[in-house]
Structure 1
């Protein structure tokens, strides 16, 4: 399901990103509708596939005593909010043409789990009615008779306790147990949803905390623009239970929204990380798959192949143009303006005057580097290119079949091939043919490689 979901996401994003000005209105609307349906279906399939792959704990009491864990306590009513993903937000369709990357398929709870990963893996009790486990904390499912014992066992050796400010009798009991242990340095409150939910929690349970809880601060324009999707703030405590309110705001509007909670939480809890002596991020240990190592050269060959061949061709043809007139038939020689004048270093001239080409080479190099490093946007764009390019070739072939005069644009290339043949530059023609094949075949192959499960897991580990 996850693989099929990414295929649907890639096809849908390609449909949303390619527009044909000459297409009928009904065709354009049909393409838009098909793209949206494929993207939404792809997101659902990826998330559902990940739920099927999520392990379920046999119990919190059976966790190894020496394992560091983070206990995630919340009301089951908050599960839907913590399951939100950025890819299904309506304004992403407006601002980014629905180009979902792996980062945009991270749930709020998953982002929280990644943010606190230096403290240990995040565990929680699951709602008994769940058909599949939620994405984020690893869940154990307990009965009404055993759930309290499960929570107490996890509290005994949790390195950090995250408690979401919600409502419910079960949550009130959990607050009593956490505060009763008198270890404020291990507790962080997550303020979710809105002001109303927090104020209800504060009125109902605020007096359980020795120094109370702060009021929800007045809403500011900055907070409205930079706030996260569901988790709004965090509260941490000093040793005497003095609370500290930290808003989980991003740094720029609409930038980094996909992982805003994951990035904002460590910034807000710097003192908590420092006191515990843990880093702000877990080191990356997943090795780079061979599919990525192969796909990056294929992508580079597609985008840099014409540039490399042009430089080699200009140098080779320029060198041959300096040969005696008997080197090839004057009747087949190109006009004097088509080749560089004798006595000039044609490659050096290209280096000096062809700066747009080298700027393009720098852009391609940066793109290849980001793909090599597992950048979610770069990998997503590479997937889209691998789908869009064969479609473009097919449309070009159909267009040429319907308009034979379109083949005239290939006459300059045919003339260049004749020049190379008469000058004996068969190796240059072979090089161009190899680069052409790499470009045409390499893009779809690279896309197939980048959708592999080991590649997805490697990218996921780097988010």
Structure 2
């Protein structure tokens, strides 16, 4: 059944791509038959307006569904990688927030949780405890599924992990996990991710104030970022003094690059000397993608002008 579901998602993504190609070619042929010229630009606008919703609602969703049906089991991921894992704890409601895909060329087919996993992959395999009863795991961190003994599993994984990421939220389970983290983990190996607006964060920090020896700090006003749920984080000193980190995300700065840049002290504490090189590579790839997009747009406009004023 899982294989059939994966095949259906894959066929849906391929069909959506073919449909976009057919529509774009058909619109180009129709505008050419009608005389070209200014109609060529109208055809470009129509092709964009038609292709974007098909890409977003058919191709992207089917591709994410395909990745969910073919995702690696958390236990298999731990067995396949000898390195200490990166444990991802969170309120289960955060899963829905991090299921959105990006708006730029490099992130268009990746969920926010996948971008989070990519940022920390060189540290160790990112794993999370799965939500009980979910039909498919989200695309991102491999899930380990446990029953009533989930607390024992969390304790075991905390003892084995090189880094602990906590997606802040509400719930008794997360509160218990935060208490275990504070008791057993080096605070310099903990990152508290904040998928909040400012007022939600204030409510969260008042609810967990008794778990930390020092009050959690306030946050400056967070900038808007349509395709990002995580816009800030907290890192900790040796005495559990929290330091706020605003990631400064926008369409030109992806989540992976922002994490590599703003969490540099965490990577340094973990002796990951490759983080600066990975950050530069992220910037180079993003610059290349933007350059290719700009070149494509410029050539398209040039061809349109030639059709209107020279080749008519």
Q: Does 1:276 align with 2:292?
A: no
2:152 is the counterpart of 1:140? no
Tell me which of 77, 82, 86 is aligned to 2:93. 77
CA distance in 2, matches of 1:156, 1:7: 46
Map 1:186-197 to 2 at 5 A: 186-197=189-200
**C-alpha deviation, 1:151, in angstroms:** 0.8
- Of 102, 116, 123, the match for 1:86: 102
Please report the RMSD computed on the Cα atoms of aligned residues, expressed in angstroms.
Answer: 3.9
Provide the rounded CA distance (Å) in 1 between the counterparts of 2:121 and 2:90: 18
> Are the counterparts in 1 of residues 81 and 125 from structure 2 also a CA contact under 8 Å?
no
2:67 to 37, 50, 65: 50
The structure where helix makes up a greater share of residues is 1
Distance 1:117 1:171, change over 3 A: same
- Structure 2 residue aligned with 1:232: 231
Give the match for residue 169 of structure 1. 172
Aligned to 1:402: none
CA distance, structure 1, for counterparts of residue 173 and residue 244 of structure 2: 24
Q: Deviation per CA, 1:104-156, whole angstroms, max 9, x where unpaired?
A: 2221111111111222011001112322111111111122x121111111101
Matched, 1:5 2:36: no
State whether residues 123 and 139 of structure 1, in contact with CA within 8 Å, keep that contact through their aligned partners in structure 2. yes
Normalising by the residue count of structure 1, what TM-score does the alignment of the two structures yield?
0.52
Q: How many residues align?
A: 278
Kindly report which structure 2 residues correspond to 1:261-410, keeping only aligned pairs within 5 A, or say none: 261-281=255-275
Q: Which has the larger radius of gyration?
A: 1
**Structure 1 residues 201, 63: CA separation in 2 closer, same or farther (over 3 Å shift)?**
farther
Q: Does 1:130 align with 2:105?
A: no
* Kept in 1: contact 2:85–2:127 (CA 8 A): yes
Which residue number corresponds to residue 213 of structure 2? 210
- Distance across 2 between alignment mates of 1:378 and 1:139: 37
Q: Secondary structure at the match of 1:254?
A: coil
**Could you tell me how far apart the structure 2 residues matched to 1:277 and 1:10 are?**
46
Separation in 2 of the partners of 1:140 and 1:282?
31
Q: Which residue of 2 aligns with 1:241?
A: 240
User: Contact 1:59 / 1:150 at 8 angstroms: preserved in 2?
Assistant: no
Aligned with 2:163: secondary structure? strand
Q: What is the rounded CA distance, in whole Å, between the counterparts of 1:200 and 1:54 in structure 2?
A: 35
241-250 or 1-10: bigger deviation: 1-10
SS in 2 for 1:22: helix
| Aligned counterparts of 2:106 and 2:93: Cα–Cα separation in 1 | 26
1:15 to 21, 24, 43: 24
User: Which segment is superposed worse, 170-179 or 33-42?
Assistant: 33-42
Sort the Cα spacing of 1:64 and 1:254 in 2 relative to 1 into closer, same or farther, 3 A.
closer
How many angstroms apart in 2 are the aligned matches of 1:129 and 1:182? 29
Structure 2: gaps of 5 or more residues: 1-8, 279-283, 304-310
Q: 1:149 maps to what in 2?
A: 152
2:232–2:245 contact (8 Å) kept in structure 1 = yes
Task: Provide TM-score, normalisation by structure 2.
Answer: 0.74
Aligned to 1:160: 163
